[in-house]
């Protein structure tokens, strides 16, 4: 097992990893930018080291600075969390070159999965259902027009190197394709300098279903159930739950089989998430394989009892997962609300000093937070300040528990999305599980 792990992230995920390390008896190193000099994760780690100014490219995404921090502190492993350098294959190669173990997938995995068009082709070749679309990267707009005409409008143009909702544009008719094509190219280039895109038929009002898996060095694939992530705005998730109210036992078994084929198709290692669209006819279509820990992993932990971060560390250390598929049983129901420092009406960022922070508690309530009463929320990073997670014996019980927890949550000094979450959990359609990726857009337009 590792002696010291550098946590190459900030906020709630850094703290989540630090706590898992402490339970495993592993020392931790926090990294921070000058804007995060007094951040909570720096106070909880055994050591903390500054890696640069507030701008992410000069700190959290500065590969030489992060590698140097690991070297100076004597860390023998590094956990990237999510975002920043978590999916950078070159960064993994740099870690490996100095004998620093990267806790996550291999560099080869990240290189393969970094090109979403090639990943899509690999999945299709292995019998995994994909939405009709281009066979690979689309070179120019004229070819895009031909493909769109063939598969039928509306279409969605996706950046090969996109992620987190970036590099996605929908064209509902031929006159919109040129602008959508250029926008997807531009956003893809902003991510990693590549303008490549591919095209798929746009699935109207699908549900967003994802599957959590673990794969160890011995090739054991452990399927930890599915998550419903349909409550989202501009492809950014706001509320997640597990199990999905739309997935029955037969569908869940099929998802587990497809997910296993997907990770085997690319020789995947460690924790990962396979995302699917579920159309109105109950057909699943592969979207992407996310090669990292997900923001929403806690709800899976709540219903399975599996500590996914600890399993990541064990697998990276060369140990077998301590679980087999027969050990996995989903119990009850869990929700997660992503609490962000944003105006709940217009989603405008609300950075600043937190004057009061009281988070809820009680049986079946968990809060993964990166802040406290002393925290300043800087304007430079993602607006997520906390994840409120609940577990109940049933979906109805979990909804009630979340409503109580949201009522108890008090944040002053900054605006948060807590009022919006309260309204969603009171909505009859939400309570009855009538969800799609258009739910929140429609909800906001009719209730604001």
Annotated catalytic residues are 292
Question: What are phi and psi for residue 150, nearest 5 degrees?
Answer: -70, -45
Per the document, the length of the chain is: 448
Residues linked to residue 228 through DSSP beta bridges, in sequence order: 209, 241
- Per the listing, tokens 């038929």 go with 201
Q: Quick check: 46 and 18 in contact, CB under 8 A? A: no
d(CA 273, CA 34): 33
The span from the CA of 251 to the CA of 247, in Å, is 6
Strand ranges inside 234-262, DSSP E: 236-242
Angle between the N-to-C axes of helices 63-73 and 89-97, in degrees from 0 to 180, rounded to the nearest 10: 30
| Largest pairwise CA distance in the chain | 60
Residue found by looking up tokens 């259902």 in the block = 129
Residue listed under structure tokens 């300043």? 376
Q: Characterize the bridge pairing of strands 197-201 and 333-340.
A: unpaired
Q: Give how far Cα 237 sits from Cα of 218, 240, 336, 377, Å.
A: 33, 7, 10, 20
Joined together, the tokens standing for residue 121 give 């082709």
Nearest residue to 315 via CA among 70, 37, 57, 104: 104
Q: How many Å apart are CA 185 and CA 196, to the nearest integer?
A: 6
């Amino acid at each position: 097992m590792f002696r010291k792990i550098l946590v190459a992230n900030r906020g709630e995920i850094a703290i989540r990893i630090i706590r898992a390390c402490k339970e495993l008896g592993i020392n931790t190193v926090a990294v921070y930018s000058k804007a995060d000099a007094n951040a909570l994760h720096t106070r909880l780690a055994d050591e903390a080291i500054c890696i640069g100014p507030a701008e992410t490219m000069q700190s959290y995404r500065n590969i030489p600075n992060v590698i140097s921090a690991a070297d100076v502190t004597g860390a023998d492993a590094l956990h990237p969390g999510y975002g920043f350098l978590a999916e950078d294959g070159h960064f993994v190669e740099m870690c490996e070159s100095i004998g620093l173990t990267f806790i996550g997938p291999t560099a080869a995995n990240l290189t393969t999965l970094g090109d979403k068009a090639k990943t899509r082709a690999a999945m299709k070749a292995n019998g995994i259902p994909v939405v009709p679309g281009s066979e690979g990267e689309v070179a120019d707009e004229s070819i895009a027009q031909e493909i769109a005409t063939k598969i039928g409008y509306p279409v969605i143009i996706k950046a090969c190197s996109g992620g987190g909702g970036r590099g996605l544009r929908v064209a509902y008719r031929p006159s919109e394709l040129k602008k959508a094509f250029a926008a997807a190219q531009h956003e893809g280039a902003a991510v990693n300098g590549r303008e490549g895109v591919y095209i798929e038929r746009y699935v109207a009002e699908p549900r967003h279903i994802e599957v959590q898996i673990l794969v160890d060095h011995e090739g054991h694939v452990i399927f930890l159930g599915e998550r419903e992530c349909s409550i989202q705005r501009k492809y950014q998730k706001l509320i997640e739950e597990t199990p999905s109210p739309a997935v029955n036992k037969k569908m869940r078994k099929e998802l587990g089989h497809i997910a296993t084929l997907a990770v085997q198709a690319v020789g995947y290692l460690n924790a990962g998430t396979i995302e699917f669209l579920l159309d109105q006819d109950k057909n699943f279509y592969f979207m992407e394989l996310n090669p990292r820990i997900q923001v929403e992993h806690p709800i899976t932990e709540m219903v399975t009892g599996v500590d996914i971060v600890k399993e990541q560390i064990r697998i990276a250390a060369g140990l077998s997962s301590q679980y087999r598929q027969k050990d996995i049983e989903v119990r009850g129901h869990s929700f997660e609300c992503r609490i962000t420092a944003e105006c709940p009406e217009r989603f405008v960022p609300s950075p600043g000093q937190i004057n009061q922070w009281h988070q809820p508690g009680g049986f079946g309530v968990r809060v993964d937070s990166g802040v406290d009463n002393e925290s300043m929320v800087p304007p430079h990073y993602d607006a997520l300040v906390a994840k409120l997670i609940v577990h109940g014996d049933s979906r109805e019980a979990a909804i009630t528990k979340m409503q109580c927890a949201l009522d108890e949550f008090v944040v002053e000094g900054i605006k948060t999305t807590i009022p919006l979450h309260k309204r969603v959990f009171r909505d009859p359609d939400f309570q009855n599980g009538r969800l799609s990726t258009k739910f929140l857009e429609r909800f906001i337009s009719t209730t604001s």
